[in-house]
Structure 1
């Protein structure tokens, strides 16, 4: 029997979701909506009595105080029962209904959770489906209802929309047709270049003609055409996402030939530094560094850009889920201890008329991405402790979503290896059509057709399943039941088994893979990127014990093959061979690309801004700008306290509303040893010079570490390049120059890279117009902190304390927020001074370690004025500062330059008067100036170079300017 249950908010309580939707509808220009009420719909199938259904509703599905429910047997288009139950005086002429449900095959974690809840009540349901029903009052046309449905309520990539009727749960069209096996081959042996390219594009494999010809040549030697799954496997393995073929290719850069850019910059810096505490770099799912006598720390940051562009919630949801699996699959497995995220969007106030066809509005992308990361991290019980958000119109069609995770791993569990005869164990979620062609889709540019052509690449995560997988893995790890592990990420089983079996070979029986539903072909099973799956290499003698562990945690665990030792990838479906590929060709047969790269210093208009006597409005304008304003709306949705190890959180100060520089976490709760995680990114500098953008990003990440009490003694870096189309010489030239900046700056700071990721072809093509993202490099830093009790925060602590600036201020307003708020870019990009930068950080870190610093904040976006203002209103005390005491280079003579320059390696530091002399001795050798003091009032004051007031603002006004922009 099927029962439709509808849960809704009682009339005398506000419908928070409905009210928020009303504001979104007004935002898109429809003002005739009076009210919206949301009804959560469940279709429960099972042999359940009326009393049992009522028990499910009252004890599981509703909050009895604020919610009520109705039950309907069978399909019904009549909403009269809803109207009576809700108690509204609805008019039949102005009530409209829109019902939304997930498409078949798209993961809905609520369904499995409800089934589990029903089981916990001692009852049983065969299946549960869910939908959302929106009751809308107002004078609305059919076109307006469709606009509300498609632009506010639903994403038709993953959801079905029903206007004016119930969703068609009951229709036979949702039933899957059984799959009839037929081995498919692709005729490539006699194909010309045009035909080869057509085969690649039709299959969404995105292999180039050169690559297709290499495949053609290989199979010509074998005397046969490839099967569909063989060509799919090669495409996944050779994708830019998996192989990093641009970074590893041959580049002609302004006449300099670079053979493997990655090896000659990022990896080379780490090799030359040769830090003994680097345990594993560039060879596993995450980099590993030493922590203490028992544990190491692993760290990885991934991108999930293209999926987030077409389905923001699912893209971000599976982005954070995937990077958590990276640490679970590092070595023999790590315990995830913290998440990070950095996002890039178009401005949230963009007019809908300026949004290209096929692109979601930035505000919708923003909310979906934030919700996706929030739900996954919070539900898995992992704190999201660090991050940043950037805005630029060029991210509108191609948002960037960086997700990171750090894990704690036992020292003796950092190495892994499969052996001949090991069984291949697939654990976790079941396999469906979600995520097909995800790896290849992530390697090409987006177009207005991407949502139609590549909708199958979108996935929805199930964090509860991943948590159960993680719990079971850690038990099996402690018992030593497996030899190797990796996550089933980009390319699905194709990449996971292909990588684990590279040196051995493997045979897989595809019909053994557990499916979400029937009807999948053998090829779909192999390349699906369905989430929450891991692959393990298990000795045969451990077969029953490890399977029992996963069964007790209610996690599917299925043996699907074994590692053979013949160095071939052999796939079977019900006994028939569907693929037989040499591992050597799969992993080493990719033709290396040769590309031209050029770079020339651009020239931007240099602004001629008139000097002022009052820069208060400029300060407030910068504080309220998209890239500087408070991200509190986002941050407060994340759990920072779960696991109990959080020491320094993202928001600090008397009201927990000041912007922290970095997070500090204690991975082992009975120890005061901790880790610091920070990030640096400044895309606007890349428009002037990607080299200095890269070096500034490293400097920013490291000075944030120092700002919270860390040092450069044991700090490691991660790089994440997000770039445009590197087939274009000028675009590739910028990538080369940024990589060179990474190499030089990492050597200067003696900070090795331990892992990284690149995401190329981040462009959106709309008709004849192509919109490329600005060159974007995220640098993440992780530092081992010997004693977290030495941590300091950025909020000022006490009136009468002295304020110092440490570091040299220069005439470097190029790419600054001050210039940007006036409509300019400029040319004088901030540079890292390699003569003094590391020494400055080392001296300040030593002073902080000796207890000489009360608070510290790094100078970054907005310069001295913004950093000091943030410290002031976070602590709740005023400041009085004097620009004439700021150390600056010759020629830096204007007040606005000293106020807003974003020169690197600078800190605002609070020092107690009785420790002034000791502090100045400690930082001797670094540029510094005592520029003022903390005041026992609510006024933030800065005196000009000539001694006149150039800023005098109430703290409440500065704080309001900072908070109002993103107060959604």
Structure 2
């Protein structure tokens, strides 16, 4: 909605950005919905809003709970912890996600304070994301995701509650303003028209709502995909039940966060129990690789316990009492601690006890959290958690030697080189990477896994803050931040030049075409990156054509290039532009000799 007096200004903005704009109508306030035909003057629609929004009869759906055929998880008699771990690591939901992150820019906007990868080796284990609000401050937004599709096959209500719990334990790694300020979108993917599925999604929705009310968070958006079934050769094929919860909340200081990678060998690992001691295997990755789903799913029976756990972890992070943390989720406790070791490029020595089996202890996916702290802080942290009714116990220590040793009830159940286990964790991602990239490059990367170490660096200077008068001085050189239709990195480029002491101008190609600005008044020209013209192959050709086939613009750019007092910078799409207009590698190359981009 736009006020009538602002229409012309809005149209001008659209014209500058090359965006079509149509005025569809106006809000009259007479409670009628009227459509006029401008061609023949007729009024094909003229209806009272009560008829559209009033007492429309509610549709009734009849459904009932289906008779589940679930069975308790029955593991092979001869399976070992090492073999179970190898099978679990093959699941895409558990193993490395490098095949996804390798091919994307994880720092678009220049506002990303925490991305998917972390640690000295940049492994894909981060629980949450953090985005700064501006390039100049410390406030931001934290976000995290929770989903438990397989557990919903066992119990849709329990799966929905577990999705809520997982999203919270993921977000716990970044300090937010207040737990009751957390909002989320809830995306449902289901086939509710099939027998038993309608009542299943109703149970899941109710469970999610009730648990969120008890914790104090809320849904403010989302999307439903409720046709997740099809017929294939006279057989109904339906998608697994799915709820994806995406939490987000204000972050007062984007520096107050932790990541899963272990920071210091010789530190202690503490397990924070958020499931009241339960260790159920239903819906777990271990059950899945054994061709089962189980009979009883993990659940979030005590939402207040999870809330207290979230707030306690937040306090530990804020007070810098813990240096790393990771939630227990897909793959169980063993996956949690191993991912921390993989990312920290170190070893572990764990000593666990329990009344259940070793497989329940290591592979159950109940809610929980593992934190790293200094050895001297263990008793204090365990005591602080006990004060709010949360059980926590030290489960081991980190070691510099890259070896993983796990003892359960006095018996050693795993003793393997960390790099060998990390290779298993990376294997599925590696196989997928070979399908989408040059196999030789994927093979070369795999060979480096055994020799991989964190980067070593040494600064030859002492970093100092820039002089305070850079932004206030009167003789700042003017730089044009040049963009075209679809460009999207202009703001971070502007911020960089502003912090460097330039007078920054936002220049759209339409400004040059319509002579609202010229390059004559600028000392610098920065062509930005990012998706001009919908990022079609060689998209900068359209941008370059605007210059090359407009004689006035071509001469203007050539004059700027020849001036001895100017400089230019092209990044990504902007670099393509400079190559296509002959500025790089240097002027004078024939078009067929210029760099090509895809």
1:866 aligns with 2:335: yes
- Report matched runs for 1:687-702 at 5 Å: 687-702=153-168
1:832 aligns with 2:300: yes
1:712 aligns with 2:179: yes
- Aligned-pair CA distance for 1:571: 3.7
- Report matched runs for 1:220-259 at 5 Å: none
Counterpart of 1:722 (choices 181, 189, 211) is: 189
2:260 paired residue number: 794
- Aligned-pair CA distance for 1:688: 1.1
Counterpart of 2:311 (choices 828, 837, 842) is: 842
- Report matched runs for 1:213-292 at 5 Å: none
Distance, in Å, in 1 between the alignment partners of 2:215 and 2:208 is 11
SS of the residue aligned with 2:279? coil
SS of the residue aligned with 2:188? strand
Counterpart of 2:143 (choices 665, 674, 677) is: 677
- Aligned-pair CA distance for 1:613: 8.3
Distance, in Å, in 2 between the alignment partners of 1:562 and 1:837 is 49
Contact 2:34 2:43 in 1 (8 A): no
Counterpart of 1:855 (choices 324, 342, 346) is: 324
Distance, in Å, in 1 between the alignment partners of 2:228 and 2:134 is 39
Q: Which moved more, 1:649-658 or 1:606-615?
A: 606-615
CA 1:572 to 1:661, structure 2 compared with 1: closer, same or farther past 3 Å?
Answer: same
SS of the residue aligned with 2:21? strand
CA 1:639 to 1:935, structure 2 compared with 1: closer, same or farther past 3 Å?
Answer: same
Contact 1:611 1:896 in 2 (8 A): no
1:546 paired residue number: 10
- Aligned-pair CA distance for 1:952: 1.7
Contact 1:661 1:708 in 2 (8 A): no
Contact 2:378 2:394 in 1 (8 A): no
Distance, in Å, in 2 between the alignment partners of 1:933 and 1:694 is 34
For residues 583-633 of structure 1, give each alpha carbon's deviation from its aligned partner in whole angstroms, at most 9, with x where no partner exists: 433344754211123225724122332566841121122122122122222
Distance, in Å, in 2 between the alignment partners of 1:653 and 1:545 is 48
1:956 aligns with 2:423: no
Pairwise CA RMSD: 2.1
SS of the residue aligned with 1:596? coil
- Aligned-pair CA distance for 1:663: 0.3
1:568 paired residue number: 33
Distance, in Å, in 2 between the alignment partners of 1:707 and 1:821 is 29
CA 1:577 to 1:591, structure 2 compared with 1: closer, same or farther past 3 Å?
Answer: farther
Distance, in Å, in 1 between the alignment partners of 2:52 and 2:103 is 44
CA 1:545 to 1:788, structure 2 compared with 1: closer, same or farther past 3 Å?
Answer: closer
Counterpart of 2:19 (choices 538, 555, 571) is: 555
- Aligned-pair CA distance for 1:766: 2.4
- Aligned-pair CA distance for 1:720: 1.2
How many residues are aligned here? 423
1:940 aligns with 2:407: no
1:267 paired residue number: none
- Aligned-pair CA distance for 1:910: 0.4
2:372 paired residue number: 910
Counterpart of 1:580 (choices 45, 48, 53) is: 45
- Report matched runs for 1:191-202 at 5 Å: none
Distance, in Å, in 1 between the alignment partners of 2:293 and 2:373 is 35
- Aligned-pair CA distance for 1:722: 1.3
Counterpart of 2:101 (choices 635, 654, 659) is: 635
SS of the residue aligned with 1:679? strand
- Aligned-pair CA distance for 1:749: 1.3
1:927 aligns with 2:396: no
CA 1:748 to 1:683, structure 2 compared with 1: closer, same or farther past 3 Å?
Answer: same
Distance, in Å, in 2 between the alignment partners of 1:661 and 1:616 is 25
2:219 paired residue number: 753
1:815 aligns with 2:279: no
2:131 paired residue number: 665
Contact 1:707 1:858 in 2 (8 A): no
Counterpart of 1:654 (choices 120, 129, 148) is: 120
Contact 1:613 1:950 in 2 (8 A): no
- Aligned-pair CA distance for 1:562: 3.5
Counterpart of 2:72 (choices 578, 581, 606) is: 606
- Report matched runs for 1:326-365 at 5 Å: none
For residues 216-237 of structure 1, give each alpha carbon's deviation from its aligned partner in whole angstroms, at most 9, with x where no partner exists: xxxxxxxxxxxxxxxxxxxxxx
Distance, in Å, in 2 between the alignment partners of 1:620 and 1:853 is 30
1:877 aligns with 2:343: no
SS of the residue aligned with 1:676? strand
> Which gives a bigger RCO, structure 1 or 2 (Cα 8 Å, sep 6+)?
2
SS of the residue aligned with 2:425? helix
Contact 2:73 2:292 in 1 (8 A): yes
CA 1:838 to 1:559, structure 2 compared with 1: closer, same or farther past 3 Å?
Answer: closer
CA 1:542 to 1:606, structure 2 compared with 1: closer, same or farther past 3 Å?
Answer: closer
Distance, in Å, in 2 between the alignment partners of 1:914 and 1:901 is 29
- Report matched runs for 1:109-188 at 5 Å: none
TM-score (norm 1): 0.42
Contact 1:658 1:873 in 2 (8 A): no
2:556 paired residue number: none
Contact 1:942 1:950 in 2 (8 A): yes
- Aligned-pair CA distance for 1:866: 0.5
SS of the residue aligned with 1:864? helix
CA 1:683 to 1:932, structure 2 compared with 1: closer, same or farther past 3 Å?
Answer: same
Contact 1:840 1:927 in 2 (8 A): no
Contact 2:326 2:371 in 1 (8 A): yes
For residues 149-171 of structure 1, give each alpha carbon's deviation from its aligned partner in whole angstroms, at most 9, with x where no partner exists: xxxxxxxxxxxxxxxxxxxxxxx
1:770 paired residue number: 236
CA 1:555 to 1:765, structure 2 compared with 1: closer, same or farther past 3 Å?
Answer: same
- Aligned-pair CA distance for 1:576: 4.2
Contact 2:175 2:257 in 1 (8 A): yes
Gaps in structure 2 of 5+ consecutive residues: 434-598
Distance, in Å, in 2 between the alignment partners of 1:745 and 1:595 is 25
Contact 1:623 1:958 in 2 (8 A): no
Distance, in Å, in 2 between the alignment partners of 1:766 and 1:577 is 48
Distance, in Å, in 2 between the alignment partners of 1:668 and 1:605 is 52
Distance, in Å, in 2 between the alignment partners of 1:709 and 1:559 is 44
1:645 paired residue number: 111
1:744 paired residue number: 210
For residues 181-232 of structure 1, give each alpha carbon's deviation from its aligned partner in whole angstroms, at most 9, with x where no partner exists: xxxxxxxxxxxxxxxxxxxxxxxxxxxxxxxxxxxxxxxxxxxxxxxxxxxx
- Aligned-pair CA distance for 1:893: 1.6
1:896 paired residue number: 359
TM-score (norm 2): 0.67
